[in-house]
Amino acid sequence: MVLIIIDNLLAGDDVTLSSSSEDTLYVLENLYNGRPSKPFRFTGIGAVGVPEWICAEFDAPKNVTFAGIFNHNLTALAGGNDSLLLKADDGTCAGATWAAPDYQVDLKTRIVENWNDIYRTLSQTRLSYRFEFIDTANTHGHVEVGELVLGVYTGLDSAYLKPGRVEDPKYYSWRNVTPYGQHWQESLSYGLRLDLTVTNLGDPGTVDAVRVILQAIHAANGRFVIVPNHLNPMAYYVALESDGGFMANIMRGPGCEANEWTFELMTLTKGIRLL
């Protein structure tokens, strides 16, 4: 099943964010600015009993089915004291008993080697959500998060990916070649170009579900999160590159049709500081 997440609930007017620590330059507002390359940064790496944490408290209990951490600098969290937890509670950020919350899930098992995005699906309606980090092997001396997403996913139950999709690395760099043939180059950032083709079955008498999602993505300025296969741990924070030519009708009959939709996507750039 393909999962789509368009709205980040942390960017709403009904939520207050707090944290255990905050860098003076890389502040909490960077967690939901739609720019994973402009991150939030703690001042430390956490320790047993005193993890670094981010807490989101809503004005009223909020339904959340997707949690994502994008462009992080976490290690493999292989140390015995390392942890990455998502907790949720009906109490406030300041008043909840976070040692025994109403809900808790270990995100450490979701880490993919050489990949700095993590996601987890859930089904919770709580007042407060808290992420806790302990990364004792982090040589940067601080934990960093490019974008933190709490949202509600839309699942395309009748859609499946066409085999052979493009997942092409894109590298950005500054270059200068002198008249003497000297090459001056500096690596800046990187991303991925994704071409995803989705075949969706539907009713020709209704608006295709993928079309409805595309309209919502366009209204959100083309930025969203996509999970191409909910059985795999890979999620992508992307921008929609194409502006037309999405759909091809494959088959149509009484009460049923098959449409093929192609998305040209680019992951939002990583690895660069304060664009």
Task: Pull the structure tokens for residue 67.
Answer: 């949690």
pLDDT in tens, 79-124: 999 999 999 999 999 999 999 999 999 999 999 988 899 999 999 9
Start-end of CATH 2.60.120.260 domains in the chain? 2-152
pLDDT of residue 184: 84
Higher pLDDT, residue 275 or 155:
155
Do 149 and 68 form a contact (C-beta atoms < 8 A)? Answer: yes
Task: Pull the structure tokens for residue 208.
Answer: 């295709």
Residue 275 has pLDDT above 80, yes or no: no
Q: Where are the beta strands (DSSP E) in 44-163?
A: 52-70, 83-89, 103-106, 117-134, 144-145, 147-151, 154-156, 159-161
Is 3.30.70.3040 the CATH classification of the domain at 2-152?
A: no
Do 200 and 158 form a contact (C-beta atoms < 8 A)? Answer: yes
Residue 146 has pLDDT above 70, yes or no: yes
pLDDT in tens, 201-256: 888 888 988 899 999 999 999 999 999 888 899 999 999 998 888 999 998 888 89
pLDDT in tens, 15-36: 999 999 999 999 999 999 999 9
pLDDT in tens, 236-250: 999 999 888 899 999
Least confident of 61-70, 133-142, 190-199: 190-199
Instruction: Specify the pTM.
Output: 0.90
Residue 164 has pLDDT above 80, yes or no: no
Higher pLDDT, residue 84 or 183:
84
Phi, psi of 137 (to 5 degrees): -95, 5
